[in-house]
């Protein structure tokens, strides 16, 4: 086979997000200069106190690679898979494929970004197929924590690639739409070259519980609630919203969405038929003011403690319409995402102080994961029987443990590849091998603006190590320092610059500057670098802090 033919039949998988972290999912399949994008999601910063923005994937490689992108296909409606879609479509106005509910959520994101009219959204039903350049994509129904979730069988010149999306094997799904075990088994019979499989829950033994197992738990909690019932979950968790609404109707309660995202999700669920309830089931907050407390249940956004969410405002008693009272029940029906635990625990404490009874994962079974545990992950491998295996969607430890599980399930270790963001894998008719890396990373999107991700590093330094401002004046005629250096600190050491540490730092800086060759100029990078280097070294050695140092150098006659 000639080099040209090899290039035209080989397929390269490039990870631009979602491998080495939870969220930021974006994968590209490349063949003969054409590309297919799978998902385009966001990730929330680890420390939400440092900002209210989100991370989006760095797209520089796509811009520089000169690929002709054919389409983007979305596996499901969660933000970590669709949230960055506007940023992709601004640069690449390509067709977007997804199920009805997924496209409804995506359309909301695009309308918020001013792209609702121009986006080319194309419905893709389970068992449906479409052609995108050299790729034929087949949608396969899987069960997850949001309806209409898909896995993908992508037929390529190098063989069939199966991408599971986020999944679990739910034996009793809320909507009756079962995981398509038979189709995965048929693909395994046909031959799967590569399996890309969700790794989120690989550390959990056994199988993940069914979403419908929450119904009796919710019924029990609603029944014992004397006054108002509040449940917080991800706004895209339509299955959870549906079960709360069903139980509330049984108990004679109306359901009130709180927060813009939650209200929009309910509206989209009603429009798409995923929430098939009669009129009057859901009320606006102002309508609920006339109902007795035991006749209402609230769905709230902010399950991860987001500072301006409805849940946070209820906990801090700053909500404009509602106040938590003794006899109310608050249910946090979601997993605490790592990094958010302290914030969420603070909200729980606030709710208790206001007199509410609070239920969350540590004290009651009020959440069921939407991701496959180890037995289900092993079953996916047995069903598809892939020649090659790559774990996706997880932190490094999840990916590593999933590789070990694949080896246990019978895939040779040499045929398992642990990739991280920026890594790529090339598959040919005869082999699979690591190929040239791609530039990958993350960008902060906050307040409608794209920011360098280093901005959060600066905020983290300011929060943990403080800042020092060094002020000095240089004579334009002599090039000598004629005033200063004077130091001002915030968040580093107490005092107004007269503390022992500040005096010692000033003397050390003065000595270092006196030893520099003259003449000096305010724009001289040597001078600025020496100020930063000297002060940072002093405070690292003296107090174990690495402050953000800001030189302010003036020129005077």
- pLDDT exceeds 80 at position 456: no
What is the reported pTM? 0.83
> And the tokens for 428?
């040919």
Cite the active site residues.
Answer: 198, 371
By residue count, the chain amounts to 557
The residue-averaged pLDDT of 127-132 equals 97
Q: Is the pLDDT of residue 530 over 80?
A: yes
* Percent of the chain clearing pLDDT 70 (strictly above): 91
pLDDT tens digits for range 37-79: 999 999 877 655 555 577 889 999 999 998 999 999 999 999 9
pLDDT tens digits along 265-318: 999 999 999 999 999 999 999 988 889 999 999 999 887 767 678 898 999 999
Kindly indicate the confidence band of residue 396, based on its pLDDT and cuts at 50, 70 and 90: very high
- Res. 464: pLDDT tops 90: no
> Sorting pLDDT into bands at 50, 70 and 90, what band is 479?
confident
CATH class of the 211-359 domain in this structure: alpha beta
CB-CB contact of 369 with 170 (8 Å): no
Distance CA 297, CA 21 (A): 35
Residue tagged 């895209």 (tokens): 236
Residues 6+ apart with CB under 8 A from 355: 324, 325, 326, 327, 328
| Stretch 313-324: mean pLDDT | 91
Quick one: three-class SS letters along 292-360?
CHHHEEEEECCCCCCCCCHHHHHHCCCCCCCCCCCCCEEEECCCCCCCCHHHHHHHHHHHHHCCCEEEC
pLDDT tens digit string along 496-528?
A: 656 788 888 888 898 988 888 888 888 888 888
CATH of domain 466-556: 3.10.20.580
Output the CA angle 283-284-287, nearest 5 degrees.
85
CB within 8 A of 97, min separation 6: which ones? 71, 72, 73, 74, 122, 123, 124, 130, 137
- State the pLDDT confidence band at 86, using cuts at 50, 70 and 90: very high
Lowest mean pLDDT among 13-22, 48-57, 351-360, 385-394: 48-57
E-only strand ranges, 394-480: 394-395, 424-427, 432-435, 442-446, 449-452, 467-475
Alpha carbon dihedral 221, 224, 225, 229, in 10-degree steps, equals: 20
Average pLDDT value over all residues in the chain: 90
Which range (6-10, 49-53, 245-249, 386-390) has the least confidence? 49-53
Whether the predicted pLDDT of 184 surpasses 80: yes
What is the rounded average pLDDT of the residues 123-131?
A: 97
Q: Summarize the confidence of residues 27-38 as an average pLDDT.
A: 97
Q: Which of the listed CATH numbers 3.40.190.10, 3.30.70.20, 3.60.15.10, 3.40.50.150 matches domain 3-206+369-454?
A: 3.60.15.10
Within the chain, how many helices (H) and strands (E) appear? 17, 27
Distance in angstroms (rounded) separating the CA atoms of residues 190 and 192: 7
H runs (alpha helix) in 170-328:
181-190, 214-224, 238-250, 260-272, 285-288, 310-315
Q: Is the pLDDT of residue 460 over 80?
A: no
Q: Is the pLDDT of residue 3 over 60?
A: no
Query: What pLDDT is stored for residue 488 in this prediction?
Result: 85
Contact 426, 435 (CB under 8 A): yes
* Model pLDDT, residue 101: 95
Name the pairing type of β-strands 26-31 and 194-198: unpaired
- Answer positive or negative: Cα dihedral of 516, 518, 520, 526: negative
Q: What is the reported pLDDT for 345?
A: 87
Structure confidence at residue 2 (pLDDT): 39
At 4, the pLDDT band (50, 70, 90 cuts) reads very low
List the end-to-end C-alpha distance of the chain, in Å, as a whole number.
Answer: 76
**Residue 449 pLDDT exceeds 60:** no
Read off the pLDDT of residues 196-206 as tens digits, 9 standing for 90 and up.
999 999 999 99
User: Which residues, listed in sequence order, are joined to residue 490 by a DSSP beta bridge?
Assistant: 467
Contact 12, 31 (CB under 8 A): yes
Domain locations in the chain as residue ranges: 3-206+369-454, 211-359, 466-556
SS3 percent helix, strand, coil of the chain, rounded to 5, is 35, 25, 40
Q: Among the listed ranges 120-129, 262-271, 444-453, which one has the minimum average pLDDT value?
A: 444-453
């Amino acid at each position: 086979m000639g080099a040209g033919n090899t290039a035209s039949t080989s397929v390269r998988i490039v990870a631009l997000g979602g491998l080495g972290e939870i969220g930021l999912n974006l994968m590209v399949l490349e063949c003969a200069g054409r590309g297919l994008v799978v998902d385009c999601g966001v990730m929330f910063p680890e420390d939400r106190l440092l900002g209210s923005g989100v991370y989006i994937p760095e797209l520089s490689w796509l811009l520089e690679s000169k690929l002709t992108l054919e389409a983007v296909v979305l596996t499901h409606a969660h933000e970590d898979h669709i949230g960055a879609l506007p940023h992709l479509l601004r640069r690449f106005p390509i067709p977007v494929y997804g199920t009805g509910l997924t496209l409804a959520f995506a359309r909301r994101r695009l309308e918020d970004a001013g792209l609702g009219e121009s986006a080319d959204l194309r419905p893709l039903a389970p068992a449906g197929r479409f052609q995108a350049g050299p790729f034929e994509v087949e949608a396969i129904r899987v069960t997850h924590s949001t309806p209409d979730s898909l896995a993908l069988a992508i037929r390529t010149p190098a063989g069939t690639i199966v991408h599971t999306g986020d999944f679990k094997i739910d034996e009793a799904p809320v909507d009756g739409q079962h995981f398509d075990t038979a189709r995965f088994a048929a693909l395994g019979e046909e031959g799967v070259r590569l399996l890309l499989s969700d790794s989120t829950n690989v550390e959990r033994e056994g199988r993940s519980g069914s979403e419908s197992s929450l119904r009796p738990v919710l019924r029990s909690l609603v029944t014992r609630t004397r006054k108002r019932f509040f449940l917080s979950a991800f706004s895209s968790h339509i299955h959870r919203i549906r079960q709360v609404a069903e139980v509330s109707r049984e108990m004679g309660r109306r359901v009130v969405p709180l927060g813009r995202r939650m209200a929009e999700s309910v509206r989209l669920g009603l429009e798409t038929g995923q929430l098939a309830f009669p009129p009057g089931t859901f009320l606006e907050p102002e309508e609920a003011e006339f109902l007795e407390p035991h006749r209402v249940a609230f769905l709230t956004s902010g399950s991860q403690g987001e500072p301006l969410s409805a849940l946070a405002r209820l906990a801090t008693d700053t909500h404009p319409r509602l106040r938590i009272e003794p006899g109310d029940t608050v249910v946090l029906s979601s997993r605490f995402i790592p990094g958010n635990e302290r914030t969420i625990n603070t909200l729980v404490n606030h709710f208790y102080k206001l007199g509410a009874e609070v239920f969350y994962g540590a004290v009651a079974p009020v959440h069921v994961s939407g991701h496959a545990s180890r037995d289900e992950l092993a079953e996916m491998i047995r069903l598809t029987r892939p020649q090659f295996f790559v774990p996706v969607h997880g932190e490094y430890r999840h990916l590593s443990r999933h590789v070990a599980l694949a080896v246990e399930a019978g895939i040779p270790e040499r045929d398992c590849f642990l990739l991280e963001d920026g890594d790529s894998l090339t598959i040919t008719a005869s082999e699979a091998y690591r190929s040239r890396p791609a530039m990958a990373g993350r960008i902060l999107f906050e307040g409608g603006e794209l920011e360098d991700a280093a901005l959060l590093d600066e905020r983290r330094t300011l929060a943990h190590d403080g800042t020092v401002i060094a002020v000095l004046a240089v004579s334009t005629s002599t090039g000598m320092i004629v005033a200063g250096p004077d130091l001002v600190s915030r968040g580093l050491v107490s005092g107004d610059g007269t503390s022992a540490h500040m005096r010692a730092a000033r003397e050390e800086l003065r000595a270092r500057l006196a030893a520099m060759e003259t003449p000096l100029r305010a724009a001289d990078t040597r001078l600025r670098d020496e100020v930063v280097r000297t002060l940072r070294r002093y405070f690292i050695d003296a107090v174990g802090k690495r402050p953000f140092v800001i030189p302010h150098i003036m020129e005077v006659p």
